[in-house]
Every structure is written in C-alpha cells, then in structure tokens.
A and B are shown apart, each in its own frame.
Chain A
Amino acid sequence: MSSLTRRQLIKSASVTAAGSLLSACGSKSPAHGNAPVVAQSSGFLFRDVQDTAGVHFKHTDGESGRKYFVEQFCSGCGFIDFDNDGFLDIYAVNGALLPGSQVKGHPRHEMFRNRGDGTFENVTDKCGLGSTRFGGGVCAADYDNDGYLEIYVTCFGKNHLYKNKGNGVFEDIAIHAGVAGLECISTSACFFDYDNDGWLDLYVCNYVDYKLSEDRFCGKGKDHKSYCGPEVYHSHADTLYHNNRDGTFTEVSRPSRIIQTRSKSLGVVATDVDNDGWMDLYVTCDLEPNLLLINNRDGTFAERGVEYGVAYGMDGAAHAGMGVSAGDYDNDGNIDLFVTNYSFEMNSLYRNTGQANFTYESLRTGIGPPSLVPLGFGAHFADFDNDGWQDIVVANGHVLDDCHENNQALEYAQPLQLYHNHGGKSFEDVSTTAGPAFQQKYVGRGLAVGDYDNDGRLDILVSNNKGPVRLIHNESSFQHNWIKLQLQGVKANRSAIGARVQVKTRSGMQTQEVYSGSSYLSQSDLRVHFGLGTDTTILEVRVRWPGSGGIPGAEEVWKRLETNRIHRLVEGSTSNKGGIAK
C-alpha cells in the first residue's frame, strides 16, 4: 500500500471502464489456458521400470491417522550387491503400523535380488531381512572385511546390523555388536574408517528425543492437527562406534567429541574435505546449523562448520538440512558438498576451494532458484550423461500433507529434479525434458544411484513415503564413454570406503570417493563410475587407498585401463590390467 492512498482506492471503486487485458502475466502459464511451451529435448531419458522389473513394494508411514511426528520423513533405500555377483540388488526400508492403524498385515523391509537380466526377485524371506520395525535409513559396507557386505538399518527404536553370512542369509547382530542404539529416531548412517586402522567404524545420526506417547499436537486451528516440525522436540546426540575388529563395536561418541549440544541430524557423509588423508564428517541438521566434524587425526573431531562456511545457508539461516551428497562438481580435485533443504530454502551447493574453505554457489551456478519451492530429500552427484561432469539428481516431496492449504504454491507430492552440469560452471534444470520418470509426482525421500544393469549408464532408485520404491532406468542416448571401478582394500578396509579415485584423460582430471551411506537414508553403488565424454584413452587412474595401520593410505596408479568396462582394482596390485567383463 506504499504508493496507493486510500483516497485513490475509494476513487477506483467507481472505475467501471474495461481496460485492456494484461498480456504479459497470463501468456506463459498453462493454467491460463495457453499451450505450454514445448522445451527442446535435453538428451536425457529416464523411465520407471519397477513394475516390469518385479520390484513390487509399497511404503507405509504407519497409517495411524494420528499424524505422529515420525511418519513424515521415512524411509530410505539402497543399491547393495549383497551376493557379490556383480549386479546391484535393491533393499527397500519400510515403516511400520502405528497405534490407531486400521490396516491389516505386517509391512516389512524388503530385499530384491537382481537376476542380471533386468528383473528382480523378492528374497526377503530367504535372506532374513524382513524386519517389521519402523525403518529409517540404510547403509552398507564390509565392516568385518570378510568379503561380504553387511547392512545397517536405522529405525525408530533399536537399529539392525545384518551380518552377511555369505550364503545369501543375514543375521541381525546389532545387540551383540553393540550398535543397536537407543530408543530414539535414528536417521542416516555411514560406515567409515576414522582412525585409519583398516576397519570400518560407524556413525549414526539421531534426530530428536521422541516417544509415541509424547507425540505433540501442532496445527493452525486448535482442532486441526498438522504434523509438527522438529523445533518442538529436543535434539538427540549422534553416535560414533569404533570397530573393535572382532565383529563388535565400542561407542566412542564422547571421547571422540562428536557430540554436539544441538544437532537434529538427518543426513551424513564421510569425506576428506581437507585432503589430509583422514576422513571427516559432514552432517546435515534440521533447523540447526549443519556440522562439519574435522578429523583431528587423534581419534577426536573438531566442529568447524561455521568458520568453513558450510553450517548455514547463504544468508546465515539455519536451514532444514535433509540430504547430502559429496562430489567434485568442478573437477578441481576438491570435494564439494550439496545439501537439500526445505520449501522456500534453496538447496545449498558449497564449493570447496581447497583446505576445507567453502563458498556458497547455489545462486552463481543457477542450481538454487529452481529448488526454491520444492522440498528436497535424497540427492546425489552423478554423471548421468557420461560427459565427465557430475550432474545432480534430487528427490522431492513435502512433509506436510496439508501444505497446499497453507500455501497454494506447495504440493505434497513433487517430481524429481535433474540438474545438468555445464562444465563445472553452472547447472541447468533439465527435469521437464528428462523423460517420463521426471514428470511423475511422489512424496520422495531416499535416493540411491547405481548402474543396476551394468550398461554404463547410471540409474536411480527412489523411495517414497506411502508409495512405491521406484527403479528408474537411464535410457539416455548420449554417445559417451565411461569406466566403472570396483575397489577392494587389502590393508585398507575391504570395501575401500573413503578411497579417493582420480581418473585422468586428455580432457582433464576427475575425482571421486567411495562412500557408504550419504544422500538421505540411502546407500548407493559402492563402485565409482566416471563418464569420459568422447575421450577413448585413460591416461591414468590414481587411487589413494583409505588408511591402515593408523596412517593415511598409499597411492597406486593404473595406466591405460580400457574404457567402457568395469574394472576391479585391488590394493597393492598395480599390475592389474584385467577387468570384469561386461
């Protein structure tokens, strides 16, 4: 009302003459009856194939009708090759029925084994992985170095550690191993070797202090309950478990100084942000500053999120940090960070300028504005077109099923987003031209990336609240080369979690790491995939192995590995010239 006086308003009450229609405001919006502008194809093409592939799964949020706090933000999913046959299997975490539910049956977590022909079979019963606990997230790694991947599942309540017996059967040994955790909401988790002893430790995010009996009432009108936000609950400290090398762990949260008085953690990634060979941790927190736990190399960590520029958004606000991905998007050899946030908070892209100094790049790169309205959860850096630059994919979905009533710009179910990386300088939102999978709307949560059919194109797995787990096949037709590396530690942890891999071609150098966990509540393919663009020759592949014996790992270099193949690189075997035939 700054310039229009009330006198003018009263005057305008008598205006009856018809003016001309404003042409600008309605012409581009389909909602006003005009034909939408048909965008040019981006070349990306992704399609949902879960039904034809036999991945039949439906997530439950508890279906209580009571709007319990815990219902909003679960669950995750994982690409996990549990049987070592070279094909990624799928693990889908489920919720559980809550008091007040009228639904019959016992929803459970499910494992789908990849047959190698593009289809999957449900092997949950055979594997013993069908927990009926209210599940949060999943991460996987060979924590006991026996050659088989174990699976850690966080829950509302006690967590699971499934020991892989090697014969397709798992046993829950969480209590015996000392990692069952507390009766709270645990969210993301990751295995990583923080003390470089060659054995994987475990970091578990714990969200808030919560019990069903203490669920709080929030809502606009006093008789209309809406889901509460995390601010009405107190945070619960995260947990760090040190691997005792005998199948068990010791909780070291306090001596390691990872405990923060305020966290409300949802996502975590273990990555070496300062390039010193010791794994650090970046933890995304909901309405609290994110945490950057720098490894002091003596079994302790120091929280440096604020001074390194990754605790807050651009304007210093503590955002609702959900998922996180680490990757080198500008190919400068430093690992950058990407965080998904709430509606009307842009997703945060932090560029690592070296030695863990970060600059906020969401605006400059263009990735921020398209993410303003959607609510992001799972996210991953991945080169979907194999052009040598890491793109970003995000799973979106609101937490409030009545969000549209409060703001008509918001929707509960939202589409995925795909951001194409243009030479490390900018990102373009190509979602509308990336195929039918990016036009469907779901309440997205977890997201994992992996090449489930080993065709050299990265596929996507998305879990949805109260929805199916989506297997999204990459059918893009870019004629680009690639290489996929499966690392195996010998002195270092066998899964090579924390290994840093650099691939050098004529076009330049790319850097990636091997991660357990990350994204949101999810586990991606442990193999590292590099797109090579039109390069046909790999000059060298350099691997800095994770540490062992208490010191950072050594480097090894492979020369002239063949492109468009999957190679297994074993620590200490630099003469390895072979590869796994496709």
Chain B
Amino acid sequence: MKPTSEKYTEEHRSPRPPQRLPLGLLIVAALLIIISLYAERVSRNWVPDADKKVKAAASQVSEQTFKDLGIAATASINDAHAQTEYAQALISRNNFFAAMLPAERAVAVAPSSSDAHLMLALIYSTVGYRERAISAYREALKNAMPESRLMVMQKLGEYLQSTGDTSGAQTIFMAARNAYPGSPGPIMSLASIYLDSGKASDALALLDPICTDPKTAAVGALYLNGKACQSLGKTTRAAELLRAAISRQSDFSDAYHTLGSILCNQARQQEGIPLLENAVKLNPNSGAIMYSLASAYFNDVTRQDHLSLARTTFEATLDRDPQNEWAHYYYGLTLEQQSNFAAAIREYERTLEINPDFDSALYRKAAVLTQLGKRDEAKACYALFDKRSKHEITSVHDKRRNNSIVDTAEEHYRRGMALMQKGDRDAARDDFKIALQREPGNAAARRALQGVGGL
C-alpha cells in the first residue's frame, strides 16, 4: 500500500535517528525475559501434557467447525458457498460419497461456476462415476476463465487417459497444445501417451524442442525425453537427460529408477545400484522400483552378499506386489543360486500359477529337479518346455521371414504395389526407390516411383 499522508512521506524521506534506551530499562527488560522463560518452563511442569491438551483443543475446534459447516449446508441448500465448503470438508476427510450431494447442490445453484463443476468432477472420478465425471469436466471447461482453461483441459485429458480413453485424451491434449503453444504441459501429456503406445519416436519429436536447455526445460519433459530415448536405444542421451532431471529435482524417484535401470541393463551395476537405492528411499512403497533394485543386486556378482541382498529385496517386492510373476521367478532364481532348491521350486510353481505361459519358470523347475536327482519329473518338464519353446521359436521366425522379402528389384516393386493398394504411399515409395537401385533400367519401378512423387 502506498503511503498517502504527508507525515508518512516526511518520515519516509528522512528517517529519524534511533533513540537510545536507558541502561536500566534494558536490564529490566532482560530480567523480564529470563523470568518469563523460567515461568514458561515452570508452567509446563506445573501443567503436565500441556501440548496434548492444546492439540486436543484444536481438533475439537476442527470437529466443531465441520459440524457447523454441515449444519450450515443443511440450513442453506441454495447457498453455493455453504455447499462448496461442506463438500470440501468432506473431501478432506475422504468422504467422497457424502461429498457428492453438497457438490451437486453447489453446481445446481451456481451452474456457471467452473470450480464447482471441477470439484464435482473430482468426486465423480474418485468414486468411479466415469460418464458423470467426464461430463462435469466438460462443464468445468465450458465455464472456465481464460486463465484456468489450460488447467481444466489437462485435468480432463488426464482423466480420459487414466480411464483408458487414449484417443479422447490425445484429442484434448492436442487442442491444449494448439491453444497454448508455449506451455510444456500438453506437450508432456501427449508425449506420455505416445510413450505408452510404443510411439517413442513421436514422443521424441515433441519433447526434443523443449529440452534443448536442460537448465530451463521442465523437469518432467527431461524425464519423459529420457524415457523416449531409452525406448529408442539412445541410452547415452537418455542418461544425460535423466541426470539433468535429477540435478534439478533431487527427489524425483522415477528419474533415479529409470537411469539406474539403464545403467544396470548395461551391466554397470556399480553405477546403477546407488541410483536405484535412492529411488527406493524416495518411494519405498513402489513394487516396480523395489523389483528393479532386487534384479540389480541379483546381477551384481562383484558383491559377495549380492544374493542375500537380492533375496531380501525380492521379498520386499513381493510384499508390495504379490502377483508380480517376474519377482517370483527371480526370487526363485536367487533361492536356486543359494541352493535352496525346494524353495526355488515353490517360487517357480507360484510363477506358473500366476502365468501358466511363463516358460522360463518351467525350464528352471526342470533344471532344479535334475539337480535334486528327480530325473523323471525333470524329463517331463523339459519335454513340455521344449515343445512350447520350439513352437514359439518357429512362430517368431516365420513371422520375421514373412515380413522380409528377397532383395531383388522385382520383389521390391511387387511389395511397393501391394503397399500402394493399402494406401501406404510413403513405404511404397521406399520400395520403388530400392527397386530402381537394384535395377536402374527397370521401367515399371521408375513409372511407379514417378507416380508417388519419388522422382
């Protein structure tokens, strides 16, 4: 607030020199301070559990306030503010179903309030009323102020994505990106969708332009860019981006996790394990992170105690994620390496219960049975495994063979024509180009390439 009085202005312009207090007054003040501190200490002892009593008194107030809010909401059904406050209080106590009614009332009373719709959307989405939640988000968006539109679009997009409507989410995020081209949020959200759909190249194309300067790029963008690079095998670049993300946000557990995993997958456990350990510290309840650390310990044969570390960490993983078939399998492998054969078999069998097609568990079970001298049982397991394995190998190899062609002009031309019929002009153009490389005088390939604008 700006000064308005002349006096203030005068004082402001030329401050007076500080006055000196008399020495006696200072001594008295000091004594008073000492006495009051002592008195406080005495008073504590004098009134035992004073702190607890203060907290109890505060919660009584909160409980009381909650009751008052409820009373006010009941008494003022047409008061949007009262309904909203009561709904918020219920939400804060995780009473979402109870919060639905006052929230719906608030919307009914103030239909143009974006915030009211947004709160209702949150409630509906939490309790699983999907269609109503989407409808509420759309209403919130319709009524949002310009400065809030992006936030609401993000929330709607995120909700659609979380409920499996990827294409709907993608539409929203694209619209947000077009409407707010400078904002990294929609870009990151889109990139996240692309990554989840296995389109790492598309994610990379979106993220690279906003990650040019790791010091100023959004930390989330650095992370997602790192993930995209990881998917594409650009592990060096991935590591750089993830390190940048971590340096900017030192409690970013997923970044530690991803970077640690990249290093461990390159057999650089000594670098990767400390990162994974950090990730676990930051997010101790994550089964996925715990599993990565356990696997890293398992593979770090340079440590004498690596198997016992792996074992306890796999156990912790399974405490968090009992249905993790891979954790059961590797737990079994760890037990096997420690010569706990019966326990190893138990884990392989559990893996197969969760996923009967987990052939590696079948194979290891057979190997352990052999070590235990149970050759007939082992033979049966091996036979079953071998049959399934060879079937799988044949299937994979046949598919790859069928997806390749003999490298002649004629075959490339033929494939190009087939691709044209399917409408894939770009791929057809590539095949016609190669056909001409193989046989520069091939007139049909030349004509076809001209037809798709390749010449």
Contacts and interface: CB of A to CB of B under 8 A. Distances in A.
Nearest to A28: B271
A228 B403 CA distance: 12
Interface string B308-321: 00000000000000
Given A3-B286, A10-B154, A315 B237 contact: no
B270 A306 contact: no
Most B Cβ at <10 Å: residue of A12, A17, A31, A344: A12
Interface stretch (B8-16, B17-25, B85-93, B212-220): B212-220
Interface in A59-77: 66
Contacts of B117: none
Contacts of B263: 25
Given A10-B185, A15-B218, A306-B382, 16 more contacts: A2-B289, A3-B285, A4-B252, A6-B158, A6-B162, A8-B220, A12-B220, A19-B247, A19-B248, A262-B394, A315-B360, A316-B362, A316-B363, A364-B337, A369-B301, A406-B233
B250 A289 contact: no
Interface string B345-372: 0000000000000011011100100110
B283 interface: yes
Contacts of A229: 400
A360 B275 contact: no
Contacts of A14: 218
7 contacts: A6-B192, A215-B407, A222-B431, A289-B386, A289-B389, A306-B386, A369-B301
B79 interface: no
B393 interface: yes
B189 interface: yes
A30 to B, nearest CB: 12
Secondary structure of the A contact surface, majority rule: loop
Contacts of A372: 266-267
A3 B283 contact: yes
A38 interface: no
A216 B389 contact: no
A581 interface: no
B393 A15 contact: no
A19 B278 contact: no
Interface residues of B, number: 92
B158 A3 contact: no
A276 interface: no
Contacts of B417: none
Contact of B216 (A8, A16, A213, A406): A16
B243 interface: yes
Given A3-B253, A368-B301, A24 B359 contact: no
B434 A217 contact: yes
A116 to B, nearest CB: 43
A103 interface: no
B407 A315 contact: no
Contacts of B394: 262
A372 B263 CA distance: 12
A223 interface: yes
A312 B389 contact: yes
Interface string B215-236: 1101111011000000001111
B267 A309 contact: no
A217 B288 contact: no
Contacts of B171: none
Interface in B232-278: 233-237, 239, 243, 246-250, 252-254, 259, 263, 265-267, 269-271, 274-275, 278
Contact of B269 (A8, A216, A318, A369): A369
A306 B390 CA distance: 11
